[in-house]
Structure 1
Amino acid sequence: MDMTVTCIIPAWNEAARLPRVLGAVLHHAWVDEVLVVDDGSTDQTAKVARDLGARVLTLVSNGGKSAAVAAGLGEARGRIVLLLDADLQGLSARHVTDLLMPLRTGLADATISLRANAPRPWRLIGIDYISGERAMFIDTIRPYLGEVAKLRGFGLEVFLNRLWLRQRHRIAIVPLAGVDSPSKMQKRGWLRGMVDDMRMLRDIFRTVGIATILWQIMGLRSARIR
């Protein structure tokens, strides 16, 4: 059975943090292709990715995470797609294996990470419904690339939740011990970070309403494999 994997990493001005993530996936035995989507960066993101050995897709302007991932999905060659954020800290090859294992063994149709620094409520209920680290079969999402490309910047994760639940996917929640990501305030300063957080929430709520988010959280808990 075809278990080829494309790892897609959307990146905007992540030249300083990207090497740590690439170190976990480049040359991983189960990852056949690493595709960094440079989302209109103004730093050396594309050069860093190329120099380290990743395939790079460069977008002319910054269109947001959803559009960047849609572009990457359109170029992916693998049957399985692994999505990773570019700013993760502490990610290792073992974590990548854990995210892919449930799909390779047939135990699940998709995986979602639960990072060490996920908000406390998400850790208590065992679901981070907006986690960016996920794996799925590309046939799940390929018919919807046009819709994904039109999503507001941070609408991707809740769109995937809705799609997976409608398709009755079995979902594995994968704890990533020791993995976290810097907050937007850490990366861009207090004021800019707060504005970016508000924009992220706006994108999420414009993609799905509050009632749908509650439905997604309950649905994901029910769909997760034990």
Structure 2
Amino acid sequence: MTARSPLSHPPRISCVICAYNEAPRIGRVLAVAAAHPLFAEVIVVDDGSTDGTAEIVERFKPVQLIRCGENRGKSAAMAAGIAAAQGELIMLLDADLKGLNAEYISALARPVLQGSAQVSLSLRQNSLLAFRAIGLDFVSGERVVKKTLLGEVLQEVHGLPRFGVEVFMNRRIIERRLPIAVSHWPNVTQARKTEKLGYWKGLRAEWRMIADLLKVAYPLALISQTFQLLCLRVDHGPRARFSARIRKAPDNSQ
């Protein structure tokens, strides 16, 4: 399936993008998402931005903009976007992606549309090295899930820490034993907070985000969650190749 050749009569996909002060970056994401044929709608939740993010979004006429009066964090913004979505499938995209194109979106949707998986996650070029080594980024912001996964518990999502929604979502995926596919995005990166805010402010923001993850699950639980997600993968190719490379490594002990 190519970006211009969707499956016949695919389920409706709603694309939800949460954004806070992403005016320099969100336009390039919307240029791809707003034109993609798989999307029945594209919804941007502006989480109280102060930099003109909403004005950039308004340039893309098909895009639905939800303005939040104050910055409450990604969890609450995502809950607002999912509540407004009409599709039975949700594709979540971060607003600060670089290198995104239509085929990456198609590749992320394909396993769920074809029925080989019920959840699809991206693995970006600048995901942490450990995530790329095992073949799964457990905090990936680019996902395809059924709306019901979070739509049934929106009150809980609203009450999560600002950046706890991915870990909460993972827990529900594991509880339901949902098959997972990983879509490799080798040329896509996400802008780091140090790039957006400067080194020290960005570093503090990164630590606050990690603290939010730990409010939802303890460190050992996060490690366990990662391996449980790996066990749910239905496309083991990249991980198997990585394991094979380890097994074939030369033995220099003699």
1:51 aligns with 2:97: no
1:218 aligns with 2:219: no
Structure 1 residue 106, shift from structure 2 partner:
0.5
Structure 1 residue 27, shift from structure 2 partner:
2.0
TM-score for both structures, normalised by structure 1: 0.98
1:74 aligns with 2:83: yes
Q: Which amino acid aligns with 2:224?
A: W
1:65 aligns with 2:51: no
Structure 1 residue 16, shift from structure 2 partner:
1.2
Matches of residues 30-179 of structure 1 in structure 2 within 5 Å? 30-53=38-61, 54-179=63-188
Structure 1 residue 28, shift from structure 2 partner:
0.8
Between the aligned partners of 1:171 and 1:136, the Cα distance in structure 2 is 10
Which residue pairs with 1:26 in the alignment? 34
Which residue pairs with 2:244 in the alignment? none
Between the aligned partners of 2:86 and 2:41, the Cα distance in structure 1 is 8
Structure 1 residue 141, shift from structure 2 partner:
1.5
Percentage of identical aligned residues: 37
Between the aligned partners of 1:181 and 1:68, the Cα distance in structure 2 is 19
Q: Which amino acid aligns with 2:23?
A: A
Structure 2: runs of 5 or more not aligned: 1-8, 236-254
Between the aligned partners of 1:113 and 1:82, the Cα distance in structure 2 is 11
1:5 aligns with 2:13: yes
How many residue pairs get aligned? The number is: 226
The alignment partner of 2:54 has SS state of helix
Between the aligned partners of 2:216 and 2:37, the Cα distance in structure 1 is 36
Between the aligned partners of 2:79 and 2:46, the Cα distance in structure 1 is 12
Which residue pairs with 1:17 in the alignment? 25
Which residue pairs with 1:188 in the alignment? 197
Question: Could you report, residue by residue, the CA deviation over 1:4-35 in whole angstroms, capped at 9, with x for unpaired residues?
Answer: 01100000111110011111111211101000
Instruction: Check the 8 A contact 2:179/2:234 in 1, yes or no.
Output: yes
The alignment partner of 1:83 has SS state of strand
Which residue pairs with 2:241 in the alignment? none
Instruction: Check the 8 A contact 1:2/1:79 in 2, yes or no.
Output: no
Q: Which amino acid aligns with 1:23?
A: A
Question: Could you report, residue by residue, the CA deviation over 1:152-204 in whole angstroms, capped at 9, with x for unpaired residues?
Answer: 11101111111100011000011112000121111100110111011001000
The alignment partner of 1:43 has SS state of coil
- RMSD between superposed Cα atoms in Å: 1.0
Q: Which amino acid aligns with 1:174?
A: S
Between the aligned partners of 1:174 and 1:7, the Cα distance in structure 2 is 17
Structure 1: runs of 5 or more not aligned: none
Question: Could you report, residue by residue, the CA deviation over 1:95-136 in whole angstroms, capped at 9, with x for unpaired residues?
Answer: 110111111100110111100011111100111111100110
TM-score for both structures, normalised by structure 2: 0.87
Between the aligned partners of 1:149 and 1:94, the Cα distance in structure 2 is 32
